[in-house]
Amino acid sequence: MRDVAIISFAQSVSARESERNEVEFLMPVVREAIAASGIERSEIGFTCSGSSDFLQGQPFAFVMALDAVGAWPPIRESHVEQDGAWALYEAWVKIQTGEVESALVYGFGKGASGDLGEILALSLDPYCVTPLWPHADSIAALQARAWIEAGRGTERSLAEITSRSRRAARSNPHAIVSGDETPDELLARPYVASPLRAHDCAANGDGASAVVLAAGDLARSVCSRPAWIRGIDHRVDPASLGVRDLTRAPSAELAGLRAGVGRDRIDVAELYAPYAHQEAILRQALGLPETTNVNPSGGALCGHVMMSCGLQRIGEVARRILSGTADRGVGHATHGPALQQNLVCVLEGE
Amino acid sequence: MADPVKSIVTPIRLEYDYTPGRATSRFLRGIARHCILGQECPKCHKVYVPPRGSCPACAVPTEREVEVRDTGTVVTFSIIRVPSENIHFELPYAAISVLLDGAGIPFFHVVQDIPLDQVRMGLRVRARWVATEALAPTIASIECFVPSGEPDAPWESFREHS
Amino acid sequence: MAELCGIVGIGQTKLAAKRVDVSMPGLVREAADRALTDAGLDWRDIDAVVVGKAPDTFEGCMLPELYLADALGAPGKPLLRVHTAGSVGGSTAIVAASLIQAGIHDRVLTVAYEKQSESNAMWGLSISAPFGVAVVAGAGGFFAPLVRGYMRRSGAPDDVGIRVAVKDRLNALRNPYAHLHLADINYQMVEQSPMLWDPIRLLEACPSSDGACAMVLAREKLAKDAPTRPAWVHATAMRSEPTMFAGRDAINPEAGKQAARDLYAKAGITDPRREIDCAEIYVPFSWFEPMWMENLGFAPEGSGWRMTVEGATALDGDLPVNMSGGVLSSNPIGASGMLRFAEAAMQVRGQAGEHQIAGARRALGHAYGGGSQYFSMWIVGSEKP
Ligand SMILES: [Zn+2]
């Protein structure tokens, strides 16, 4: 495999983009990531993005987004209807073929222009489940309940995860929510779908993120401390909730193993856990020790831009490696109800 | 199977708050006061109407506003005879790609007040607006385009747009 | 390039207006099963799955690949979902091929589909944002003005589109999977069919279809030993440009020209018309045959229509185009690009039955999408590159 590194990262998150459209909020993020990369826009070999038409409420929403990236003269470009983390994977593959030396990757979404939990009902079995319109929070609550009943944790464990995340988010300028509540204070609040309370569910918003990837020598020539991708893998679990052990995430376990998470210590992990209990499931799936700093950004609970959130997790880890505050970390992305699909990316400084 | 289920109907209704964006909002407010505002690219100086907030060719934001005229040239067209749920014009009608005077890109609208077999490339047209009291921030404030009576524009003047 | 990529299995469903006999999982499974059978492989031999389809709004299912994971044997494996508008079937195959070429996997299953009958794609294509006015009806309304522009520019006779429409429907009669089988198709029938989006007549436009296409791709060592001889990927190319910008040529788009140049350079082709034996290209409206002949460099600008008129693109011409009957005879949108890519591979494997071009050694598969702005193409050959 070729050495490939993340050499820059930019993001924009807000509770609601009520003035700017997708092109208007994506363009500054892309420009920032390219400017920070030290590579000219025209020198970037490949572009890949992740988004979902149903978040925009319009078919071909990603086509308009092309206006933001400078696709003239024409560019080598592709798009996944998945989180930007999978766009990063496709770009990494493209660099592995040897065809290109660098890539721009971005993800964007408008999770706050409709009821995301309701829209996500359309990603279930269209014949037997979608007609019931289960809310995404309700499905997550079924998983949380199963997790508690299996003795993996308690409602207090959820409150502890949320409390820690909200405190961490206070120092993240891109967080949508933050706070310094104690677990007891959080436990006093009402349920939205028991055992989950509002703060145990992601704070949805609008936004975008972008990274620039570069191969070996190019990365070294433009970046003093590239965040090298040491392993990246993604796996999917069956769709039907009934056939899965909801207290585990087998696809995350497998992806973590194949990405080599356990090969060395992990300083920092950013886990895409839109519900509090999912952080605990993922932490276990990846075998992260207590010493790993998990979600120092506050994670998805404190700012969740669907289709960008996974790429942001990877970007948050890369940012810490680029700046020298961490040596080895793991960025994680998920997709689908109850952690159905998972991607794990291990990053390391030199 | 004796009686297989071959299809079910699942009605879907989702509501979205739509954000036109800053550039389009300014354009729509202009329309509401009978004024067509484009935006000029700071690099290639082409004028985008309706403005999209950026020049996709140069990948830079566009900010300088330019008022363009409500007259223009039909650069290409199609006579539409296909019904579609979201189309509110009576069939058949002439969809046109119209390049407004002062604009750098054409946009789609319809032309009326002309027999369909006389619609042609190069036809000069002007906007027919709704009554002043009905003006609103929507493209629908321009009811349609109608022939302006000027001589046709030569092909060379719009070849790159058709 | 670390690895050569071979196409060792190809499968497609019967393409039809409504496949009410199968669900969406049933549809993709039908194509995937056939591809695996062709490859002499089992589900457990597959390392990763790459799925492509056009907008989720077409069936009203968001991220349907998550639900289809089980039907595609994906659990425990990587699953990618590509969406690049109408070119998606081609782009999906290219992404799958890159997983082999990069040396990441041994065997990859790639599937593209559309089940248009489960919703209203024409509505899906024409959703207009608030504050606007919907003016064009469906894709035909968008592309008809471009066709008119091409006619004016090239000075082509008015009936070139009719000739293409007849040729492709005649070819479809040789393809058992094609949606439209118009036994009595002829010039008068197309000419007299209703004008829908003037200058595009009903029979100059593609139908709306349900269908899926699948391919199994393998790395060199495994492809060599496949039961049926593989098609080898000689070159792939993708290019995109913005939908509209001042001065854009939407009739002969630069992205398509660049992709073709890149493709030929990678495949070592200097004279495409002579060195390529047949081409399966994305022609949803008949006039796009001459337009793409020029864009792909098979004919000088302004003269693509001569190839049609002179019969060069017929099955017995010097560059047969759309041997399967093409998009004009079957259009399951998301699968349409992959069907083009698969037909090219079938030709060089000698698998195309009644629409086989004798001795085809090198073939082009092509797809485009959006406002003629997304292009994907590949060249496959019977011999290793
Ligand atoms: Zn410009």
- Average of per-residue pLDDT values in chain C: 95
* Chains touching A, CB cut-off 8 Å, 3+ pairs: B, C
**Would you state the pLDDT for residue C362?**
98
**Would you state the pLDDT for residue C125?**
65
- Average of per-residue pLDDT values in chain B: 92
CA distance A6 to A86: 14
Question: What value of ipTM does the predicted structure carry?
Answer: 0.98
Residue A62 CA, ligand 1 centroid: distance in Å = 21
Beta bridge partners of B128: B144
> What average pLDDT does this structure show over A56-60?
83
Residue C250 CA, ligand 1 centroid: distance in Å = 17
What global pTM score does this model have?
Answer: 0.97
pLDDT band of B52, cuts 50, 70, 90: confident
CATH number of this structure's domain A4-113+204-227: 3.40.47.10
CA distance B100 to B127: 10
**Would you state the pLDDT for residue A61?**
84
**Would you state the pLDDT for residue C128?**
65
Closest CB to C132 among B75, B89, B139 = B139
Provide the residue ranges of all domains of chain B, joining segments of one domain with +.
22-161
SS3 B3: coil
What domains lie within chain C, and their CATH numbers? 5-119+209-223 (3.40.47.10)
Q: Does C246 reach chain B within 8 Å, measured CB to CB?
A: yes
pLDDT at residue B154 greater than cutoff 70? yes
Partners of residue C122 in chain B, C-beta under 8 Å: 84-85
Extract the tokens encoding A169: 């988010």
**Would you state the pLDDT for residue B14?**
87
Extract the tokens encoding A270: 């950013």
**Would you state the pLDDT for residue C57?**
87
Low-confidence ranges of chain C (pLDDT < 50): none
Q: Which of A54, A236, A248, A257 to mutate to test the interface with C (most CBs of C within 10 A)?
A: A236
**Would you state the pLDDT for residue C132?**
74
Residue B51 CA, ligand 1 centroid: distance in Å = 12
Tens of pLDDT, residue by residue over C291-347, are 999 999 999 999 999 999 999 999 999 999 999 999 999 999 999 999 999 999 999
Tens of pLDDT, residue by residue over A289-320, are 999 999 999 999 999 999 999 999 999 999 99
Give residue A292's region: left, alpha or beta (phi > 0; psi -120 to 50).
beta
**Would you state the pLDDT for residue C124?**
66
CB contact under 8 A, B139 and C131: yes
Q: Does A99 reach chain C within 8 Å, measured CB to CB?
A: yes
pLDDT at residue B7 greater than cutoff 90? no
Rg of chain A's alpha carbons, rounded to an integer? 19
Region of poorest pLDDT, from A335-344, B139-148, C139-148, C194-203:
C139-148
Q: For residues C3 and C217, is the Cβ–Cβ distance under 8 A?
A: no
Tens of pLDDT, residue by residue over B33-43, are 999 999 999 99
**Would you state the pLDDT for residue B12?**
86
**Would you state the pLDDT for residue A154?**
98
Sign of CA pseudo-dihedral A118, A120, A126, A128: negative
Running DSSP on this structure, what letter comes out for residue A226? Answer: -
Partners of residue B21 in chain A, C-beta under 8 Å: 19-24
Tens of pLDDT, residue by residue over B66-115, are 999 999 999 999 999 988 777 889 999 999 999 999 999 999 999 999 99
> What average pLDDT does this structure show over A5-33?
96
Closest CB to B137 among C131, C144, C146 = C131
The more confident residue out of C332 and B160 is C332
